[in-house]
Structure 1
């Protein structure tokens, strides 16, 4: 079992050096750490939607 995603990435790149562009592309699609995912949803404080 691997301890971190950094270790997984290191082993992946050792086995398949051509995977670096794919990793970069996947990371671009991730939301920013401070991005709130509920910003665009209407939220009622009364629980009715």
Structure 2
């Protein structure tokens, strides 16, 4: 799950050096990583409730 964090750093530091498509890809990676983190957090919460 570090790739989305790395993509976020790239987006913040170097977004001016990417074209529109590159910025779109970085944003998609970052947003997908955030979504994945929420899913994993929810799974962990649910597993704690079931035990």
For normalisation by structure 2, the TM-score amounts to 0.37
- Higher Rg: 1
For normalisation by structure 1, the TM-score amounts to 0.37
Structure with the greater relative contact order (CA < 8 A, sep ≥ 6): 1 or 2? 2
